[in-house]
Chain A
Amino acid sequence: MKTNLRTLFLLCNRGVRQFAFSSFVASLAIAMAGGLFLGTWKIKEGAQEAFNLSSGGFDAVLGARGSKLQLILNAVFHLEASPGNLKWEQYEVLKNTPGVKEAYPLAVGDNFMGYRLVGTLSSLFHDHEWKEGVKYKVQSGGRYFSDNAKEALVGNFVANKLNLKIGDTFNPYHGLTYREDSKHDEIYVVVGILEATGTPSDKVIWIPIKGIQLMEGHASEYATSVSAVLVKLKGAAGFTLEMKYNKQGNQATFAWPIAATLAQFFDRLVWFEKVLEWIAYLVGLVAGLIILAILRNSLNERKREFAILRCLGASRGFIINVVLGQSLIISMLGALGSLLIYFIMSGVASYFIRDQTGVLLDPFSIDFTFIYVFFVILFLGLISALPPAFLAYRVDISKNLRPLA
């Protein structure tokens, strides 16, 4: 039995090598199908999970009347433009509302080398837990900014990108995108670099809110307005506040809960996910057909080989196993390739997501899905090999052993 297994492996392996190019093409097609399938499945899932974890420990955002999603993208993920401003008094009212545990005003509108300057209160770094039980930390030698000084606390990602160090100075630029001719005269000094958090906080430069409000060249109403308020709630205050701002009022939007709004956003991507999923199915089907074609063609060339093996005493079952085994090797290479392709896709995706949002995806996390996809690929490979295996089973030994003309 052991000897037969060794012979079986030898024959399968040699069969793959004999048709190396077409086997490689089939494995590649399987790898692409599997990789695409895993990519559409896992990257979106991972991104959604990472975005949910990146809400920085806040439950809601209060901002100008408009889209909840835009508000969250702007205030939490530092993407897109602010939908408008709130008055400072509105922040004060919210802060003192029962059920609001923490509230931090944000002001945006400037950048340095394309990275946003976000104005807030230093209490955000002193008091707030961006993850349960975890507060922001500065790298050694640094400190948080003072609310009344022209000081900056630089997100870890930005510090690395711009090579900013404690003591460095810079001039902010007006607007959210970098333009050389929009330089402000104020000079800020870097007083601290934040430890990496894997959240959007890493990709902005934090300065005191007064800095943005009173920046030279800003309109006078900036001085008493905020772009948004990040809110942490306690109890069931969310329902009351949503009713107050969204249903009864018309001045502001209360985006709560953040996770639900993000889920709606990801739901909008379902069509894209479906398209990729169908492409993956089609590539998978093509891969299966390639396996079928390879084995069918190789069968024509291997009929004599199978007849010789039968004459040497190989059973019909053994011949079937040779064909199935050959398919299994191709499928296994394809399945391993699909993991490789997935990791490359995931790595590239996580790089861009990190670059654009600061959200950190773990591109190499492995779970049960991978095992599932691996075995589904092997199973489909075996299914594709069944028709040629059946033909191999029926090879006419006598006819195929006769001398060639």
Chain B
Amino acid sequence: MSLLRVNQLKKSYVSADGESTRVVDVDDFILKDSEFCGMRGESGSGKTTFLHLLAGILSPDSGEIELMGKNLRSLSHSERDGLRASVLGYVFQTFNLLQGFTSLENLKIAMSFAGSTDHEIAIDLLGRVGLSKRLHYYPHQLSIGQQQRVALARALVNKPKLVLADEPTGNLDPSNASKAIELLHELCLEANSALLVVSHDEGVIQGFDRQVDWGIINHPANTSEQKNLIRK
């Protein structure tokens, strides 16, 4: 059963000089329940915008996104917020931890939006990523690798149906990068979550059974006829 279905999705930005530039133009994209997918693409090619559209934090110009059978366009703001809290986990390249809050608080805050109160889950999960002794550390007191592990734990703490990871290893050294990807796989498997990772790093994408080229599914500058040619 498809967890995520994207159809005729388009998004353009208007630049400072008033010119409209289309950055996302995806005809069709499907992700099944518990499926892992690695999407490779150049930096600045619109992958982040695509993930933001999937997460409902950006609205498309046209097209449909269905998450768990719900069309994001038909949902109200608050319904979209609720869906993001309970169904989605998001991992950022720069981790985006809440700086004024400890590791545990970062997870607790994420849990509160999903209506969850069992903080043992957060403590267990931080233990699972090797940070049981860093529960009350603030992000600036953690190494880069530890910060990324907190970010992974936060993304998974609500056992989301879908985890979106945007260049999750972009700020890590090669050793930490491979550990982070392994951990992300493990945690998603345990939580039975689907995973969509976008990265320009071929090493990250190689580990996925399903690999997608962003440049192939997204061709904003090309006509649909050319896209068909590329597909063939």
Contact = CB atoms under 8 A, between A and B. Distances in A.
B103 interface: no
Contacts of B167: 403
Contacts of B170: 403
Q: Which of A4, A18, A398 has the most CB of B within 10 A?
A: A398
B108 interface: yes
A311 B55 contact: yes
B224 interface: no
A312 B52 contact: no
Interface stretch (A301-309, A351-359, A370-378): A301-309
Interface stretch (B31-39, B93-101, B183-191): B93-101
B81 A398 contact: no
A153 to B, nearest CB: 68
Contacts of B92: 401, 403
A312 B110 contact: yes
Contacts of B112: 3-4, 6-7
Nearest to B110: A312
Given A6-B112, A10-B109, A397-B57, A310 B81 contact: yes
A4 B108 CA distance: 10
B93 A315 contact: no
Nearest to A402: B48
A282 interface: no
Interface in A294-324: 304-305, 308-317
A313 B82 contact: yes
Given A10-B105, A308-B96, A313 B113 contact: yes
A3 B115 contact: yes
B230 interface: no
Given A3-B115, A398-B49, A314 B101 contact: no
A315 B81 contact: yes
A244 interface: no
B153 interface: no
Interface residues of B, number: 37
A18 B86 contact: no
A315 B108 CA distance: 16
19 contacts: A4-B112, A7-B108, A7-B109, A10-B101, A10-B109, A305-B99, A308-B96, A312-B85, A312-B109, A313-B82, A313-B113, A313-B114, A397-B58, A398-B57, A401-B92, A402-B48, A403-B92, A403-B94, A403-B170
A136 to B, nearest CB: 65
Contacts of A14: 100-101
A313 B84 contact: yes
Contacts of B114: 313
A393 to B, nearest CB: 11
Given A398-B58, A401-B57, A4 B113 contact: yes
Contact of B116 (A3, A311, A316, A398): A3
A219 interface: no
Given A311-B55, A312-B113, A317-B78, 14 more contacts: A3-B112, A3-B115, A7-B113, A305-B100, A308-B96, A308-B97, A311-B84, A313-B86, A313-B110, A314-B85, A316-B77, A316-B81, A397-B52, A398-B52
A404 interface: yes
A14 B113 CA distance: 18
Contacts of B214: none
A10 B115 CA distance: 16
A320 to B, nearest CB: 13
Interface in B96-133: 96-101, 105, 108-117
